[in-house]
Amino acid sequence: MLIGGMLIMSSVFCAAGAPLEAVPFTEVRIDDAFWAPRLKTTREKTLAANFKWCEDTGRISNFAKAGGLIEGDFEGIYFNDSDVYKVLEGAAYMLHLERDPELEAYVDGIIAKIAAAQEDNGYLNTFYTLSEPEKKWTDLAHKHELYCAGHMFEAAVAYYRATGKRTLLDVACRFADLIDSIFGPDKRHGLPGHEEIELALVKLYQVTDEERYLNLAKFFIDERGNAEGHELFGDYAQDHIPIRQQSEIAGHAVRAMYLYSGVADVARLTHDQALIEMMDRIWRDVTLRKMYITGGIGPSAHNEGFTVAYDLPNDTAYAETCAAIGMALWNHRLNLLHADGRYADVLERALYNGLLSGIGLDGTSFFYVNPLASRGTHHRQSWFGCACCPTNLVRFLPSLGGYVYAHAGNDVYVNLYLGNEGRIPLGDGSVVLRQETKYPWEGRVEIAVEADAAKAFALRLRVPGWCNEYTVAVNGLTVENAPAQNGYVVLDRTWQQGDSVVLDLAMPVRRVYAHPDVEPDRGRVAFQRGPVVYCLEAVDNGGRVRHLAVEPGCAIGAAFRADLLGGVTVLEGAALARQAEDWHDALYQEMPAAVETPFTAVPYCLWDNRAPGEMVVWIPESPSLAEVPPDLRIEEAGGTSS
C-alpha cells in the first residue's frame, strides 16, 4: 500500500526467530498531556474505587475465609477471584509509575490473604475451597478455575517486575506447577472454557525461564477443538474445530481475544508457522468484516461476541470494553510477531476509541458495552455484578508504557506517540528516547536521542494507516525520500547525543464510509481526525442529533477547546436539520426543506461525560435518512379503524 507517497512492503515473518520484543512498562515513564491526567485519575480514583468494590462485595474477604483467617461463606460469583487479581495487576503498574508506601502495604496485605488461601498442594480458588471442595476441576467449561489462575499469574508477574517482591510470584508458580502436574499430553486432557491462562503462562515462563509453563500454554492451545481429547465446548469458546484449521472469528469476543493473544505469544516463541497462518486468516476476518470503526468488536449481546460478516449494528452494538482491550492485547502481540505497523494501527484505533470510551473522565464510571448510537438511555455505571470491565481498565491503562516501543537487535520501533521517556535495549547497550507531542490532537512528534556514546541503529517510526502525508526531519533538516517498510519510516544512521527527530503527521478531518454490506451505515458518514473517531452528542447540538444530516462536501474544521472535557479538539461544520412533517389527511405532498444549522462533534471516547442525550457516530448524508424528532411529529388528524 501507499503511505505518504512511498511503497510499504507487506509483512514478512522472520523465520529465524521472533523479530521484536516489547520494551516493558518498567522502562517507559509517561508525562504526556493527554495520558498523564488520565493515569493520575486512574491512580487516585479508579484504583481506589475498584479496591473498595472488591472489599464491599466480599471478593477480598473470600481469600481470608479460604485461608482460615476469618469465618464465613463464599460471597459472589464463582469467578470473582479474577477481579481481585486484575486490580492487583493494575496496582503493580501504578507502583512502578509512583512508589506509594501506603498502597504497597495495602497490596501486600491482600497478597498475604491470597497466600493464606493457597492449599498445601498449591491449589488456589476460593469458590471451590469454600463452596465445592469436592468438585475441583469438574467443570472446566463454565467455572473458570483456569481463567482465574491466569489472572493471578499475570498479577504475580506484574507485581514482581514492579516491586521485586516474590510472594505472589511464588504462589503463582506453586499453582502453575500443580496445574502442570494434572494437565498435559500424557496426563489429563482438558482446557478452560474461558481462555486467559494461555497468555498468562507465557508471561510466567518469561519471568522464570521455566519451559514447562510455555509447554503447558502450548498444550492448552493444541487441545482447543481437539475432539479426541475432550468433549468440545463449541464455537462460543472457540472450541469447535482444531485451532490450526480456524479461519473465521466466532463466539465470545473476549475469550477469542485472550485465546489469540496466547496463540500469538506461543507462535512467536516457537515459530509455529501453522499458528501464524491461522492468526493471519482470523485477523483478516476480524478487521475486514467484523470490526467497528472504533476498534470495538462483538456486535451481539446474545453471545457477547461475533455473528456474521458485516453485522455491525449501531444502537444495539455490544462491543464490550473488555473486547476492545483484548483487541489491543492481540494486535500488540501481532505487531511483535510480524514487525508490521498495521497491527499497531488497530491497537491505536481500539485504544483511543472503543477502549477509552469504557471509562468516564471521573475515573469511577464505566461502560460494559459501547454502542455507536444512543437515544439517551445508555450511561456509565459505577460497578457491575460481573465486574470484568472496570477491573480490566484499571490494569490496562497504567500498563500503557509497555505498548510504546519494541526492539530487535539494533532496530528500534516507535509504535505509539505520547510524551514519555523510554530506555530501549540495543545490541550493544541501550538508548533513551524522549518524546514530546500534543498527540492525538496534533500530529507533530519530537523525539530527542540521549546516548552516552555514538550509537548505530535504525529508528523506525510508525506512519499510521490514517495518515496520507507526512514529513520527517533529523536535526532540523528534512529527510527526503526516507525509506519505508511495513508501515514504518526508517532512519538508519549513527546517532549522537542530542540528535533530534521531528515526525509531522498531517491530520485533516477524514470522511469515512463503511463497506456497502454494512446495512446500518449505508448513506451515512463518520468523521475521524488522526486516530480519533468522532460523534455527535445532543448536549452540543441543541438537545438532539438524530435529525441531523451532513452533506458531502460540507466544510468541517477542527478547533481545540481547552475548556471542554479536559481539553479536546472538536469538529465544527454545518448540518441540515430535518423538520416537522405535517401530513394531516394528505397522501402525497412536498417535504419541508431541511434547515442549515451548525454542528459540533466530540471524540467518541468522551461521550456521556456531561448531560445525557442522543449520540450518533454514523451520520446521514441526506436529510431523507435522518429522523424526524419525536416531539416535532404532528399526529395525523381524525379517524379510527373499524
Q: Which three cell numbers stand for residue 194?
A: 474461558
**Closest alpha carbon to 41 in 562, 394, 403:** 394
Q: How many domains does the chain divide into?
A: 3
Which member of 173, 388, 467, 605 is catalytic? 388
Pairing mode, if any, of strands 405-408 and 444-450?
Answer: unpaired
User: What is the predicted pLDDT for the residue at 630?
Assistant: 66
d(CA 162, CA 96): 5
Which member of 104, 154, 196, 304 is catalytic? 304
Instruction: Give the CA count within 13 Å in the CB-facing half-sphere of 77.
Output: 15
202 located within any domain: yes
For residues 496 and 517, state if they share a domain: no
**Is the separation of the CB atoms in 520 and 285 below 8 Å?**
no
Q: Express each pLDDT in 86-142 by its tens digit.
A: 999 999 999 999 999 999 999 999 999 999 999 999 999 999 999 999 999 999 999
551 located within any domain: yes
| Domain CATH for 501 | 2.60.40.1180
For residues 490 and 565, state if they share a domain: no
105 located within any domain: yes
560 located within any domain: yes
117 located within any domain: yes
Is 304 considered catalytic here? yes
**End residue of a domain, out of 483, 505, 527:** 505
400 located within any domain: no
User: What is the predicted pLDDT for the residue at 39?
Assistant: 97
d(CA 501, CA 512): 31
**Closest alpha carbon to 507 in 569, 588, 441, 450:** 441
Is 388 considered catalytic here? yes
Q: Express each pLDDT in 221-277 by its tens digit.
A: 999 999 998 999 999 999 999 999 999 999 999 999 999 999 999 999 999 999 999
For residues 98 and 208, state if they share a domain: yes
For residues 81 and 217, state if they share a domain: yes
Domain span at 605: 509-632
d(CA 88, CA 59): 12
For residues 515 and 489, state if they share a domain: no
For residues 568 and 422, state if they share a domain: no
For residues 548 and 501, state if they share a domain: no
For residues 534 and 461, state if they share a domain: no
For residues 483 and 569, state if they share a domain: no
SS (H, E, C) 266-335: HHHHHCCHHHHHHHHHHHHHHHHHCECCCCCECCECCCCECCCCCCCCCCCCCCCHHHHHHHHHHHHHHH
Using only the alpha carbons of the chain, give its radius of gyration: 26
**End residue of a domain, out of 191, 223, 255:** 223
564 located within any domain: yes
For residues 104 and 215, state if they share a domain: yes
Pairing mode, if any, of strands 500-505 and 488-495?
Answer: unpaired
Residue 186 DSSP one-character state: T
322 located within any domain: no
User: What is the predicted pLDDT for the residue at 641?
Assistant: 33
User: What is the predicted pLDDT for the residue at 379?
Assistant: 97
For residues 144 and 178, state if they share a domain: yes
**End residue of a domain, out of 206, 223, 240:** 223
For residues 513 and 626, state if they share a domain: yes
User: What is the predicted pLDDT for the residue at 427?
Assistant: 87
Q: What is the mean pLDDT of each run of 10 residues along the chain (642 residues)?
A: 29 47 96 96 97 98 98 97 98 94 98 98 98 98 97 98 97 98 96 98 98 98 94 96 97 98 96 96 98 98 96 98 98 97 98 98 97 97 95 97 96 98 94 98 98 94 97 97 95 96 98 98 98 98 96 95 97 93 78 90 98 97 89 40 30
